[in-house]
């Protein structure tokens, strides 16, 4: 390095230290009249406000489920054979004992006619034998034999007629056909499912709730069911039953809800959102959720006093719904609540409207609540 570098280095250091010293802030004595932390001297912070109101609030449990029919029947034939006719289709409304399909009955029909002829012969012989027996022209044994033959022929004929009738597959209930499982020409037996029928008046929804929530429920509590496929509609319901057993694998309890009305618009398998009304209260102090400030274990809000200064409050909350809380303590009706901007202010800090127009005390306040 050159000799000139070492000559000028001390001079550069001295000049640098001089600049640093000039940039240091003046020392403020502890008892100075100027308070650097006096937030009241800050510029007012723009916020949005809403006047606190009282009203009704309800707390809901919200979950999802699927609609199903409590009364659902899989129809099985009582006879074996080939399907010759199908008289109903999916979506058809059917009544009890209505014929759904017909199995080939040619052989059974002929067999029934044969046995009907045999029964007629046995009846005629019985009548002649009775007359002879009453005139003491035959023995008691011959008379009893004729009676037994007639009874046997009668039972055999009735059994054949029943088998013929069983070739008609009938609906055991009133309802709607939701599934046809056979086609013409299929061979069926007593183990072959043919139709799936539901009672549309028996639609239910099962939901599975945590044990801690179920402890607050009772049979008969009102609920609202909202199908995703019908976004503009909701259907009133109520709790029909609560399963007393807890599923150990999930820690949940099955709760069954029944519809109060509107069943004609619903179908099995629909995915629905369920809102069960747990508790409601009138004349409650309502707090919009967006106004709440959570600090550790405390729930806080900011209100605006008559000097346009933010005042911090600790509140005790009660019921909760999707948009609001019930305030049990810490907030009064008609106070001015900060709903936007509360996370960037401190207690005692001046505030102004976000449009920087008029003061809180002289401005009309929007009283509409969420």
65 is a domain residue: yes
- Residue 325 pairs in a beta bridge with 287, 320
CATH number at residue 330: 2.40.420.20
140 is a domain residue: no
The candidate with the shortest Cα–Cα distance to 269, out of 123, 76, 28, 68, is 68
The whole-chain average pLDDT of the chain stands at: 85
**Residues 89 and 185 occupy one common structural domain:** yes
88 is a domain residue: yes
**pLDDT tens for residues 52-76?**
989 998 888 899 999 999 999 999 9
- CB under 8 A, 24+ apart: contacts of 131-139: none
CATH number at residue 66: 2.40.30.170
319 is a domain residue: yes
The candidate with the shortest Cα–Cα distance to 188, out of 173, 158, 167, is 167
**Beta strand pairing status for 316-320 and 235-242?**
unpaired
DSSP string, 316-327: EEEEE-SSEEEE
Decide which of 280, 302, 330 is a domain's last residue: 280
5 is a domain residue: no
The pTM of the full predicted model, rounded to 2 decimals, is: 0.64
**pLDDT tens for residues 325-357?**
999 998 989 898 988 888 888 888 888 865 543
Report the domain count for the chain. 3
239 is a domain residue: yes
**Residues 208 and 274 occupy one common structural domain:** yes
* 315 touches 286 (CB < 8 A): no
Decide which of 254, 280, 306 is a domain's last residue: 280
**pLDDT tens for residues 239-285?**
999 999 999 999 999 999 999 988 888 899 999 999 998 888 898 99
Under the banding of pLDDT at 50, 70 and 90, the label for residue 17 is: low
DSSP string, 114-157: HHHHHHHHHHHHHHHHHHHHHTT-S-HHHHHHHHHHHHHHHHHH
- Collect all residues with Cβ–Cβ distance below 8 Å to 115 and sequence separation of at least 6: 153, 156, 157, 160
**Residues 259 and 291 occupy one common structural domain:** no
Domain membership of residue 304 as a residue range = 39-58+282-353
Specify the pLDDT at position 60: 87
Question: CA 52, CA 85: separation in Å to the nearest integer?
Answer: 71
Specify the pLDDT at position 362: 38
**Residues 84 and 47 occupy one common structural domain:** no
The candidate with the shortest Cα–Cα distance to 245, out of 202, 203, 208, 204, is 208
Indicate whether 211 pLDDT > 80.
yes
**Residues 86 and 177 occupy one common structural domain:** yes
**Residues 208 and 252 occupy one common structural domain:** yes
């Amino acid at each position: 390095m050159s000799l000139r570098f070492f000559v000028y280095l001390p001079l550069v250091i001295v000049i640098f230290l001089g600049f640093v010293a000039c940039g240091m802030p003046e020392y403020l004595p502890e008892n100075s009249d100027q308070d650097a932390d006096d937030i009241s001297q800050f510029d007012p912070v723009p916020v949005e406000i809403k006047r606190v109101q009282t009203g009704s609030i309800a707390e809901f449990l919200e979950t999802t489920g699927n609609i199903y029919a409590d009364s659902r029947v899989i129809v099985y034939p009582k006879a074996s054979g080939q399907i010759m006719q199908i008289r109903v289709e999916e979506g058809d409304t059917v009544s009890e004992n209505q014929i759904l399909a017909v199995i080939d009955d040619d052989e059974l029909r002929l067999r029934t006619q044969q046995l009907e002829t045999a029964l007629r012969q046995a009846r005629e012989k019985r009548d002649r034998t009775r007359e002879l027996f009453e005139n003491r022209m035959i023995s008691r044994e011959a008379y009893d034999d004729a009676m037994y033959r007639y009874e046997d022929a009668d039972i055999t004929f009735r059994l054949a007629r029943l088998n013929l009738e069983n070739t008609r597959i009938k609906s055991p209930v009133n309802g709607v056909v939701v599934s046809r499982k056979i086609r013409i020409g299929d061979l069926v037996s007593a183990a072959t499912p043919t139709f799936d029928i539901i009672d549309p008046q028996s639609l239910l929804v099962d939901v599975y709730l945590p044990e801690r929530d179920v402890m607050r429920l009772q049979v008969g509590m009102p609920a609202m069911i909202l199908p995703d496929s019908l976004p503009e509609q909701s259907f009133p319901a109520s709790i029909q039953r609560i399963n007393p057993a807890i599923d150990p694998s999930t820690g949940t309890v099955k709760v069954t809800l029944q519809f109060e009305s509107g069943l004609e618009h619903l179908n099995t398998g629909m995915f629905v959102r369920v809102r069960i009304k747990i508790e409601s209260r009138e004349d409650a102090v309502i707090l919009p959720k967006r106004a709440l400030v959570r600090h550790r274990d405390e729930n806080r809000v900011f209100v605006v006093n008559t000097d346009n200064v933010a005042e911090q409050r600790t509140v005790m909350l009660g019921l909760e719904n999707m948009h609001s809380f019930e305030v049990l303590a810490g907030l009064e009706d008609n106070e001015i609540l900060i709903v936007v901007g509360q996370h960037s202010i401190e207690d005692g800090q001046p505030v102004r409207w976000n449009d920087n127009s008029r003061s809180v005390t002289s401005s009309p306040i929007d009283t509409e609540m969420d």
